[in-house]
A = this chain, B = another copy of it.
Amino acid sequence: MNAPVMPETLAAPLPDALLDALQRMFGTRLSTTLPVRQQHGRDESVFDVPPPQAVVFAETEAEVAQAVAACAAHRVPVIPYGAGSSLEGHLLAVRGGISLDVSRMDRILRIDAEDLTVTVQPGVTRKQLNEALKHEGLFFPIDPGADASLGGMAATRASGTNAVRYGTMRENVLGLRFVNANGEIVRTGSRAKKSSAGYDLTRLLVGSEGTLGVITELTVKVHPLPEAVSAAVCFFPTIDAAVRTAMQVIQIGVPIARCELLDANAIRAVNAHDKLGLKEQPMLLMEFHGSEAGVAEQAAVVQEVAGEFGGEAFEWATTPEARTRLWTARHHAYLSGLQMRPGCRAVTTDTCVPISRLAENINASIAEVEAAGLPYFIVGHVGDGNFHMAYLLDPALPEELATAERLSAQMVERAIALEGTCTGEHGIGLHKQAFLRDETGDEAVAVMRAIKAAMDPLGILNPGKVFAV
Contacts and interface: CB of A to CB of B under 8 A. Distances in A.
Interface of A: 112, 114-117, 156-159, 163, 167-168, 170-171, 180, 184-188, 190-201, 203-204, 206-208, 212, 223-224, 247, 251-253, 291, 293-294, 297, 350, 352-356, 384-386, 415-416, 419-428, 432, 435-436, 439-441, 443-445, 447-448, 450-451, 453-455, 466-467
B450 A193 contact: no
Contacts of A424: 192, 194-196
Question: Which one of A192, A294, A422 has the greatest number of beta carbons of chain B within 10 Å?
Answer: A192
Nearest to A250: B116
A447 B212 CA distance: 10
A45 to B, nearest CB: 15
B195 A352 contact: yes
A247 B432 CA distance: 45
Contacts of A439: 190, 197
A419 B114 CA distance: 14
Contact of A170 (B188, B194, B419, B455): B194
A267 B350 CA distance: 53
A201 B439 CA distance: 13
A291 B298 CA distance: 10
A52 to B, nearest CB: 23
Nearest to A291: B297
14 contacts: A115-B356, A163-B194, A186-B444, A187-B441, A193-B384, A196-B421, A196-B428, A197-B428, A198-B466, A199-B204, A199-B448, A199-B451, A204-B451, A293-B297
Given A112-B356, A167-B171, 20 more contacts: A114-B354, A157-B200, A168-B194, A170-B194, A180-B447, A186-B444, A190-B416, A190-B420, A193-B355, A193-B384, A193-B385, A195-B352, A197-B428, A197-B439, A197-B440, A198-B207, A199-B204, A199-B207, A199-B448, A453-B454
Given A199-B448, A441-B186, A455-B451, A419 B191 contact: yes
A267 to B, nearest CB: 25
Given A203-B204, A454-B450, A194 B444 contact: no
Contacts of A466: 198-199
Contacts of A194: 157, 159, 163, 168, 170, 352, 384, 386, 421, 424-425
A138 B176 CA distance: 35
A384 B443 CA distance: 36
- Which 9 A-B pairs give the minimum distances between C-beta atoms? A454-B454, A114-B356, A203-B203, A195-B421, A115-B354, A224-B253, A191-B419, A192-B420, A192-B352
Given A192-B352, A194-B386, A196-B427, A114 B201 contact: no
Contacts of A426: 196
Nearest to A424: B194
A252 to B, nearest CB: 7
Contacts of A297: 291, 293-294
Contacts of A454: 450-451, 453-454
Contacts of A188: 440, 444
A204 to B, nearest CB: 6
A196 B355 contact: no
A184 to B, nearest CB: 5
